[in-house]
Structure 1
Amino acid sequence: MLSTIRAKLLIVDDLPENLLALEALIKGRDRVVYKALSADEALSLLLQHEFAMAILDVQMPGMDGFELAELMRSTERTRNIPIVFVSAADRELNYAFKGYESGAVDFLYKPLDPHAVKSKVGVFVDLYRQGKAMQAQVEALKQSRLEQEVLLRKLQATQEELERAVRMRDDFMSIMSHEVRTPLNGLSLENQLRKMHLAQGNADAFTLDKMRAMVERDERQIQSLIRLIEDMLDVSRIRTGKLSIRPARVDLVQLVTRLLERFAPQVAAAGSVISYSGDASLSGNWDGFRIEQVVSNLLTNALRYGAKSPIEVRVYRHDGEARIEVRDRGIGIGEDDQARIFQQFERVSGSQVAAGLGLGLYISEQIVVAHGGRITVESTLGKGALFRVCLPL
């Protein structure tokens, strides 16, 4: 590093021949010499360059060397430049004392001793280059420390993310096992009950009405399992960028009203009611299956967290886009939770009715975004929630 540092030297004298002679004496591969014929020229150079030292002639027309030195000492940029005065005046004039008062580090009399000049300049050049090398090392150490601090923060963030991922995995496995076990337990109990009736020859247990009820219960349990599997498959598709969207001409109002009819048994079982309002017809190019999936997730959440309150569904056109709103008057969602409920495996915290894998809103948002739209939530704790899906027409 030291070999690449070149020191800049400033020599000031009103006689060109003196400048040339001094330059020839002090020049070298590790230094660059700048010459000035006056104090004004020197000040201009001092503003443009960083000098390792300055050699000033004392007696110059206009501003002399002492005045130039005092200006240099009063300026932050040039305050620490070592100054060596050169004079042809008699020693009895006591210029040396005045030079040291002006901030000089040395005072030389003409005729100059070449060896003394070279030696003194060499010392200041070496000091400058060593100082620069040390400064560069200090800056490198500072930069290294900053990079290490950044790396440490990244490692800490990664560790926290990994810990969060592990917790999420454990929570997910616990939720998944519970969610899968629930419909499987129902199917298993139904099967055991039928086996018992068959073993006892109880034909009355298999009347048409009872068989119809059994089939409906089985279908609900099977649909629950299928929904869990489909959610997991959709998450995998989203992560790999393979979530398929197949747009076709769809009447959004018809899609939503058909879905509400299919939800009627679940609404009744939850002790709630659903009302629809909005446009009579609203068509656009969307993937009907995927949009139905989004609305189904919103209705399921409204029934789950709505505390048996009425649910309002609205479909309408606004500012060149189609909007679907699902509002409940249930437990609501806290402000902190609203920012994270669209993430994977997230559910409303503190809820006693939390169920499912926490994937519905995450998948719904990805589907809506894939359509070029957005999904938002407005909610206050204890006052329900309004989910709004906006789709470009």
Structure 2
Amino acid sequence: MTHFVRNERPMQENSQTASILLVDDRPDKLLALEAILEGLHQKLVKVRSGDEALRQLLLQDFAVILLDVNMPGLDGFETAALIRKRRRSETTPIIFISAINDTDNHVSRGYSLGAVDYILTPVIPEILRAKIAVFVELYLKTEQVKRQAEEHAQLLQEQDARARAEVEKERMAFLAEASNVLAGSLDYEQTFSNLARLIVPRLAEFCLIDRLDDAGHLHQVAVAHRDPHQEAVLRQIRYPESGENSHGALRVFKTGMPFVRNRVDDSVLSDLAPEADRAVLRLLKPAAFAAVPLTARGRVIGSITMVRTDPHHEFDDDDLWLADELAHRSALALDNVELYRRANRAREEAETANRAKDRFLAMLSHELRTPLTPVITHLFNLSADERMPKELHHSLDVIRRNVELEARLIDDLLDLSRVGSGKFHLESTVVDIHELLKNALEICQPDIEAKQLQLSLDLSAEQTHVNADPARLQQVFWNIVKNAVKFTSEGSIHVSTATTDDGSVSITVRDTGVGIEPSLLDRVFHPFEQAERGVQGGLGLGLAITKALVELHSGRITLESSGQGHGTTVTVSLPIAHEAPAAAPERRPAAIEPGKKLRVLLLEDHPDTNEALTMLLELRGYTVTSALNVTTALEIASRQDFDLLLSDLGLPDGSPGEVMQKVAARNGTIGVALSGLGMEKDFEQSRSLGFRHHLVKPVDVGRLEEVLQECGKSAGKPETAAV
């Protein structure tokens, strides 16, 4: 016997009508039943076999079934048995209708199949209608109750969904606020304190945040209590040694998993806390607690212990999820704090190293420059001495050039430091690049002639004025030409200029020297790089400084080479200035008026430099009184008046500022500082001590005389000595 099952929900009836299934193999009997039940105004479904009845039951539910007993195929009893096997119709009322008057046998069998009645024909219409009406009314009321129950269940589901959504919305808003609070500080202690304040009172009445140090010791880093006065009690909790296992927070550190106790009594306390802590904990009246780990970069770095004092308020999965999410976000914030600290430490270390480098370069500069000053000064004096044999002049020039080269190397070190610190200062004016280029070539001319290189010029640029610091731009040209000469053993150097369409003027220096491999071109502008072109001397700073200077002038520099043996081409492009350079004032050497000499107090602790400068100044008509230390200079200044103080800055027994104040107060003396230190801060220091000028060693004799003449005029003296 087949068991009919249908998964789809049957068609729903109208809320005011029900379906009645009429089953009989005779059409006339179906018509008669329809006529009797028509007045009930319900839906009548007529079928003529048991099979058709079963198919209709798969399509919909019925309030009652009128089932003929005698039918071909499946009879009424067999059909009823199959109806009862289907779960949705196992309680549907069945009324058997039969013309066979075998009451005992048929009726008992019908009732055994769950029939509610057994009616013999002919049917009394009023009785049938009354019985059917009862079942229809019962069915409609049952359906109404079911609909109401479904609607109520749906309403409860919607309310529950809304409640869950509200809780989730509140939770997400809380976590968003927590993220902002946690990210608002880059301090460890403040971040931990913020975390504790977020947990209380949102998740617990009080909490403790612990951290494990590298030695395995537990430290309390933050506490919070609903009653702030109780926080002092929380701080009394003793933390165990790393070997103890009783402390609850240690379990979290060891397992990396949350630890929850929703019932806290003396037995739990004895298991979780040392004896010394239990009395303190009892004062706080814990009822439930939960601890969750703080994990950063896969390592447990701390724990959050949350405690509730309400015995009816236990920690559930949602609480633990929220606490764990807070811990996760806190760990990210702490990770950011650590990264910030590391970045700060790295920056401080870099700044310290940079300051140490600057100090080293400054001291190196001072120590290297100081012995060069007497050399330069004596060379100048010897060259100017008419008694010097002419055949020695060449030797003096060789010495002078090499000493100046040494000074240039020292300047390169200082220039590199200025570039790195962003303290490179330009004194810009409108200059003619052709003039500066010719000056640079003139400086390099002896080296070009010594190597017998062929120099060709093509100065075709029509617009040659640029805004530049003339000394620095000439340094650029000198560096480029010097490099071309250095790396060219034989052949030629071609220098050209041109005006470009983009409003720039280009300066190109092309040589036939050793060249550079294309793969190394990017490295030539790096400090201390020689691009493996062979050991030719120098520090490898020239092109790095040149590039920095060109960019400070809003220009660009490029270097090209086809490889070893194919020479190198360097091109500098600078924006054109459309105004003409101002006419330089005519300088005329001042003559010494008989009997009028500038009185100079020379304070220099290096004996050779002191002797050389004294000789240089006296040969040019100045009255010089020298001192090797501050003490002697102060004694001299207390007895004599001076027009000018020429003083070193680095003195062993005091500051030249004392002497400057003494001589200035006595006679309004002007100060000129001499120093092997040439950083910007050194210039600022000399100004703060009252010096008007700052000259860097080795002293440029021509510049020194210009300054002395200017000071002589300012001091109200007649024209100072001529060169």
2:504 maps to what in 1?
321
Q: How does 1:53-92 map to 2 (within 5 A)?
A: none
2:318 maps to what in 1?
128
Superposition deviation, residue 154 in structure 1: 8.9
Separation in 1 of the partners of 2:405 and 2:573?
Answer: 28
Counterpart of 1:387, as a letter, is V
Separation in 2 of the partners of 1:259 and 1:145?
Answer: 56
- Identify which of 540, 555, 567 aligns with 1:384: 567
- Identify which of 252, 264, 267 aligns with 2:445: 264
Q: Percent identity?
A: 24
Counterpart of 1:289, as a letter, is A
Corresponding residue SS for 1:315: strand
Counterpart of 2:397, as a letter, is E
- Identify which of 476, 479, 502 aligns with 1:294: 476
Unaligned residue ranges in structure 1 (runs of 5+): 1-11, 24-32, 37-41, 53-121, 195-204
Residues 176 and 357 of structure 1 are in contact (CA less than 8 Å); yes or no, is this contact kept in structure 2?
A: no
CA offsets 1:313-353 (integer angstroms, 9 cap, x no match): 11111121011111223233345643343343x22143433
- Identify which of 530, 538, 546 aligns with 1:364: 546
Change (3 A) 1:339 1:221: same
Structure 2 residue 151 is matched with structure 1 residue 14: yes
CA offsets 1:196-223 (integer angstroms, 9 cap, x no match): xxxxxxxxx9642x12212322321232
Counterpart of 1:342, as a letter, is F
Change (3 A) 1:16 1:176: same
Change (3 A) 1:140 1:338: farther
Superposition deviation, residue 361 in structure 1: 1.7
Structure 2 residue 543 is matched with structure 1 residue 353: no
Separation in 2 of the partners of 1:220 and 1:136?
Answer: 72
Which structure dedicates a bigger proportion of its chain to helix?
1
Separation in 1 of the partners of 2:563 and 2:365?
Answer: 27
Q: How does 1:167-182 map to 2 (within 5 A)?
A: none
Residues 452 and 490 of structure 2 are in contact (CA less than 8 Å); yes or no, is this contact kept in structure 1?
A: yes
Change (3 A) 1:218 1:129: same
Counterpart of 2:151, as a letter, is D
Separation in 1 of the partners of 2:162 and 2:555?
Answer: 70
Residues 333 and 348 of structure 1 are in contact (CA less than 8 Å); yes or no, is this contact kept in structure 2?
A: no
Separation in 2 of the partners of 1:151 and 1:340?
Answer: 33
Structure 2 residue 312 is matched with structure 1 residue 312: no
Q: How does 1:1-393 map to 2 (within 5 A)?
A: 14-15=151-152, 19=156, 35=162, 126-141=316-331, 144=334, 207-208=389-390, 210-238=391-419, 239=421, 241-248=423-430, 250-279=431-460, 281-287=462-468, 288-318=470-500, 319-335=502-518, 337-344=520-527, 346-382=528-564, 383-393=566-576
Residues 253 and 279 of structure 1 are in contact (CA less than 8 Å); yes or no, is this contact kept in structure 2?
A: no
Separation in 2 of the partners of 1:240 and 1:157?
Answer: 16
Change (3 A) 1:221 1:278: closer
Q: TM-score, with normalisation over the residues of structure 1? A: 0.54
Change (3 A) 1:304 1:165: farther
Superposition deviation, residue 303 in structure 1: 1.2
Counterpart of 2:324, as a letter, is M
RMSD between superposed Cα atoms in Å? 5.0
Superposition deviation, residue 176 in structure 1: 8.8
Separation in 1 of the partners of 2:515 and 2:345?
Answer: 37
2:85 maps to what in 1?
none
Residues 507 and 572 of structure 2 are in contact (CA less than 8 Å); yes or no, is this contact kept in structure 1?
A: yes
Separation in 2 of the partners of 1:306 and 1:369?
Answer: 27
Corresponding residue SS for 1:216: helix
Counterpart of 2:480, as a letter, is L
Corresponding residue SS for 1:367: helix
Change (3 A) 1:156 1:349: farther
Corresponding residue SS for 1:263: helix
Counterpart of 1:126, as a letter, is D
Q: Which has the higher contact order (CA 8 A, sep 6+)?
A: 1
Unaligned residue ranges in structure 2 (runs of 5+): 1-148, 173-312, 577-723
Separation in 2 of the partners of 1:242 and 1:264?
Answer: 29
Change (3 A) 1:172 1:313: farther
Residues 294 and 367 of structure 1 are in contact (CA less than 8 Å); yes or no, is this contact kept in structure 2?
A: yes
Change (3 A) 1:262 1:17: closer
Residues 374 and 389 of structure 1 are in contact (CA less than 8 Å); yes or no, is this contact kept in structure 2?
A: yes
Counterpart of 1:127, as a letter, is D
1:108 maps to what in 2?
none
Counterpart of 1:221, as a letter, is N
Report which of the two structures shows the higher radius of gyration computed on alpha carbons: 2
Change (3 A) 1:17 1:134: closer
Corresponding residue SS for 2:539: coil
CA offsets 1:29-71 (integer angstroms, 9 cap, x no match): xxxx6549xxxxx9xx69x96999xxxxxxxxxxxxxxxxxxx
Separation in 1 of the partners of 2:171 and 2:478?
Answer: 76
Superposition deviation, residue 253 in structure 1: 2.7
Superposition deviation, residue 251 in structure 1: 2.7
2:79 maps to what in 1?
none
Superposition deviation, residue 232 in structure 1: 3.9
1:39 maps to what in 2?
none
Residues 251 and 281 of structure 1 are in contact (CA less than 8 Å); yes or no, is this contact kept in structure 2?
A: no
Change (3 A) 1:150 1:211: same
Superposition deviation, residue 277 in structure 1: 2.1
Separation in 1 of the partners of 2:458 and 2:324?
Answer: 76
Instruction: State which drifts further: 298-307 or 147-156.
Output: 147-156
Residues 324 and 389 of structure 1 are in contact (CA less than 8 Å); yes or no, is this contact kept in structure 2?
A: yes
Corresponding residue SS for 2:394: helix
Corresponding residue SS for 1:325: strand
Counterpart of 1:361, as a letter, is L
Number of aligned residue pairs: give it: 278
CA offsets 1:130-162 (integer angstroms, 9 cap, x no match): 122113323443565577578779978998x79
Change (3 A) 1:293 1:51: closer
Superposition deviation, residue 270 in structure 1: 2.8
Change (3 A) 1:206 1:135: same
